[in-house]
Structure 1
Amino acid sequence: MKNNNILSSLSLAIIISLTGAGSPNAVAASTPAAEQAEPEKGPHRGRMLREGDFAIELSIFETGVPPEFRVWATNNGQAIDPKKVNLNVKLIRLGDGTDDINFKAQGDFLRGDMVIYEPHSFVVAIEASYQGKQYNWQYDNFEGRTTIEKAVANAMEIKTEIAGPATIHQTIPAYGKLSLPVGAHRSISARFDGEITKLHVSFGDTVKKGQTLFTVESNESLKPYTIKAPTNGFVSELFANAGEQTNGRTLLTISDLSRHIAKLAVYPSDYSKVNLGTPVTLNVEGNTGSITGKISFIEPVVRDDQAKIVWVELADGNLAEGSFVKATIEISTIDVPLAVKRVGLQGFRDFTVVYAKVGEQYEVRMLELGRAGGEWIEVLGGLKTGTEYVTDNSYILKADIEKSGASHDH
């Protein structure tokens, strides 16, 4: 086992140079602590603790049972009846209090009365008595723990938050294109045929509802009348000029681009999750930022690929018909009592962990995870509410702990 690792200046310099977060004054950590010799192991692969002729072997046993302490005692090399030994072990954890473990005799060993939960990282304090004499030992049994000075953590932009309640937004992805609503293109013609005496607009002009487009002299009454815009929009097509006869034809087209419809494909596995009014967040190709809306219509038929098309109406005149859309449809909103940000998650042994911060020390917390959505993931176990944990740049801690190679006793 190694002492609690202190991030070395050399490793910091490498990490800072890779992240670009460094400065000449940023590398402020101490040099690594010297390694201790490996502790003596007993026949049950536990740690041997000796004082004079009396000795105990303290082992974390986890074969077929949750992890627990088992202890074998000897005097002058000979096994002692465990009923004649009184034993107490205290596990002093980083920021999480102390576990107080008492023991009862079982067969040829003493068995601890509580589960040793992960991480198996603590200061171990042992009190034993045998034949009226007291024995005391204490040692560090750290894993997944490192120390980084505050100035260095700041330089490397290691950020933390407090674990607590959160609202999880579960979503499904959807893709589609922008279309214009029915009636977005309006064809303009003359009510009475006649000669166009004046054209008041040009191709591409923006027009407002009620604005004059043409003045026409009627062929029957020989009186002039005006043709006005029935809606806001712009002149997207122009087919007539002054001096021409109207002849019952379309004279121009006004297109209203103030509203668009995102038509999104939803596939069978998600049919039941999508309803009218469901919130949607959209990203349109070529546009920065996101747009929010709600499902306003679900087409009653499916496409050949079995997708249902859902509509989201968007009041944004800066969009373009035919643009590709990537969307997330929010299918549920869940308030949970405890959650962490997914950016802080790392792997440690066979566990998913975050790194708890206590002062300048950081240590793994093995998580039991629940529902996820957006940036959050629910925590069902392994972390206490109110724990300060690392979010941004947690990979730096993972790399430093893996470098140390420290492991705990069994």
Structure 2
Amino acid sequence: MINSLLRPFIPLRSFIIALIALAFFGYISFSLAVETEVNVAEPEKGEHRGRLLKDGGFVLELAIFETGVPPEFRVWIMKDGQPVKPEDVSLVVTLTRLGNVVDTINFKPQADFLRGDMDIYEPHSFVVTIKADYQGKKHQWQYDNFEGRTRIEPAVAEAMKIQTEIAGEATLVETIEAFGKLVPQADAERNISARFEGEITTVHVRLGQAVKAGDKLITLNSNESLKSFTINSPINGVVTSKAANPGEQSGGRTLISIVDTSKLTAELSVFPADRQRVAIGAETTLHVNGYEAVLTGRVNAIDTQLKANQASTVRVEIDNPVNALSAGQFITGDIDVARYTVPLAVKRIGLQAFRDFTVVYAKVGDEYEVRMLELGREAGEWVAVLGGLNPGTEYVTENSFIIKADIEKSGASHDH
């Protein structure tokens, strides 16, 4: 899943930004050193692989247990080296997450341990506060258990062009990609000949010239009346062929051809696997080789007869008011085949890999932290989110790889 979503989204601009980021990492590391030590000593562990917390002879082992169940806290207690009955201890654990989100966990006895009454959802990144009461004596501990979290000063984030958006509702548009070329519209060409035979005296236009309706094209002398008459352009367009020269007889032939290029047709090839998904009226985005602007149009015709390569021709009309495009240019089209709204989505460009998860980085103040996502359908730049992120969360879109690199550099671990 991760590989399919994390497609190459690092253009040249991002590569340059990455180089700039390297210059800032020294500064970031300095600010991080104020918050946490990178090389934190491994906490002392107990026989259940949990963290040992000691207050004189009273020892509590706190572990996250997740074998066959969702992650939960389990606690074993000793007093002067001897096990303590779990029912003799009153225990509350408070988890304070980024943004002052507080989870309060109460415990009940089970076998030889105390079992927490709520799941410990990802990320396991919080300030842990433990309060225990045994035989009238209170014990309290507090420690930081951060993972996937870093702090970056706003000025540094701005210099690195780290951008964020608010997660929320989005319209996903599924498209299929098709290739083809631009052609004149079927009724765009006019082949012009002389109504009366005669000698051509003047040709007023040249090949490739743009003309308007009413412009002079050719002047002739009639063989019958010996009077001069002029043929004018019937449409706006471009002279695409000229077979007339002064001194020649008109001879009943086509003298000039004019094509109206104010509109062109994109002919796209769609293969059978996608043909049934394309409908008349479907919005289409077109990219023309050598032309920077993105064009849009709608499917107005679909051929019923297949071409030799088994593709159907799908036609999309586009405007060409300043003749910036030419018939024959190759094009790529993205044809809309499905459009739906989801209550929560993130931009694909913000996704990163963290442990075995696909994540985005939530931003709270000048701190950033992973959010493990359960993902749904994807289309275009969007991916639907089914779980792991709250609507309204500010998350990193552009240059999220910089956050990933800094978190990996800080070495925040996953403490079970």
Shared fold (TM-score, shorter chain, > 0.5) = yes
Are positions 1:282 and 2:286 aligned together?
Answer: yes
- Select the residue among 213, 216, 219 that pairs with 1:212: 216
Matches within 5 A, 1:16-35: 17-19=19-21, 29=31, 31=33, 33=37, 35=39
- Select the residue among 50, 60, 66 that pairs with 1:62: 66
- Which residue pairs with 1:320 in the alignment? 326
- Select the residue among 134, 148, 162 that pairs with 1:130: 134
- Which residue pairs with 2:99 in the alignment? 95
- Which residue pairs with 2:297 in the alignment? 293
Q: Give deviations 1:159-184, integer Å, cap 9, x for gaps.
A: 22222222222222111111112233
Query: Which amino acid counterpart does residue 365 of structure 1 have in structure 2?
Result: R
Query: Which amino acid counterpart does residue 29 of structure 1 have in structure 2?
Result: S
Q: Is the 8 A contact 1:16 1:22 kept in 2?
A: no
Are positions 1:268 and 2:295 aligned together?
Answer: no
Are positions 1:139 and 2:143 aligned together?
Answer: yes
Q: Supply the distance in 1 between the matched residues of 2:22 and 2:295 (Cα, whole angstroms).
A: 33
- Select the residue among 399, 408, 411 that pairs with 1:405: 411
Q: Supply the distance in 1 between the matched residues of 2:23 and 2:318 (Cα, whole angstroms).
A: 41
Identity %: 57
Q: CA deviation at 1:39?
A: 1.3
Q: Is the 8 A contact 1:27 1:152 kept in 2?
A: no
Structure 2 gaps of 5+ residues are 1-15
- Which residue pairs with 1:5 in the alignment? none
Query: Which amino acid counterpart does residue 297 of structure 2 have in structure 1?
Result: G
TM-score, length-scaled by structure 2? 0.89
- Select the residue among 380, 387, 401 that pairs with 1:395: 401
Query: Which amino acid counterpart does residue 145 of structure 2 have in structure 1?
Result: N
- Select the residue among 340, 360, 369 that pairs with 1:363: 369
Query: Which amino acid counterpart does residue 339 of structure 2 have in structure 1?
Result: T
Q: Is the partner of 2:255 in helix, strand or coil?
A: strand
Q: Supply the distance in 2 between the matched residues of 1:23 and 1:364 (Cα, whole angstroms).
A: 19
Q: CA deviation at 1:233?
A: 1.7
Q: CA deviation at 1:26?
A: 9.6
* Bigger shift: residues 268-277 or 222-231: 222-231
* Bigger shift: residues 65-74 or 154-163: 154-163
- Select the residue among 310, 313, 318 that pairs with 1:309: 313
> Structure 1's 38 and 215: CA in aligned 2 closer, same or farther, altered over 3 A?
closer
- Which residue pairs with 1:237 in the alignment? 241
Q: CA deviation at 1:21?
A: 7.9
Q: CA deviation at 1:30?
A: 5.7
Q: Supply the distance in 2 between the matched residues of 1:35 and 1:216 (Cα, whole angstroms).
A: 94
Q: CA deviation at 1:380?
A: 1.5
Structure 1 gaps of 5+ residues are 1-13
Q: Give deviations 1:27-78, integer Å, cap 9, x for gaps.
A: 9736463643221101010011111222111110011111011111111111
Q: Is the partner of 2:187 in helix, strand or coil?
A: coil
TM-score, length-scaled by structure 1? 0.90
Q: Supply the distance in 2 between the matched residues of 1:231 and 1:262 (Cα, whole angstroms).
A: 22
Q: Is the 8 A contact 2:38 2:412 kept in 1?
A: no
Q: Supply the distance in 2 between the matched residues of 1:359 and 1:406 (Cα, whole angstroms).
A: 19
Q: Is the partner of 1:247 in helix, strand or coil?
A: coil
Q: Give deviations 1:300-324, integer Å, cap 9, x for gaps.
A: 1122332211000112122111111
Q: Give deviations 1:276-312, integer Å, cap 9, x for gaps.
A: 1100010100111100000010001122332211000
Q: Is the 8 A contact 1:207 1:233 kept in 2?
A: yes
Query: Which amino acid counterpart does residue 206 of structure 1 have in structure 2?
Result: A
Q: CA deviation at 1:356?
A: 1.2
Q: Is the partner of 2:404 in helix, strand or coil?
A: helix
Query: Which amino acid counterpart does residue 322 of structure 1 have in structure 2?
Result: G
Q: Supply the distance in 1 between the matched residues of 2:281 and 2:233 (Cα, whole angstroms).
A: 33
> How many positions carry a matched residue from both structures?
397
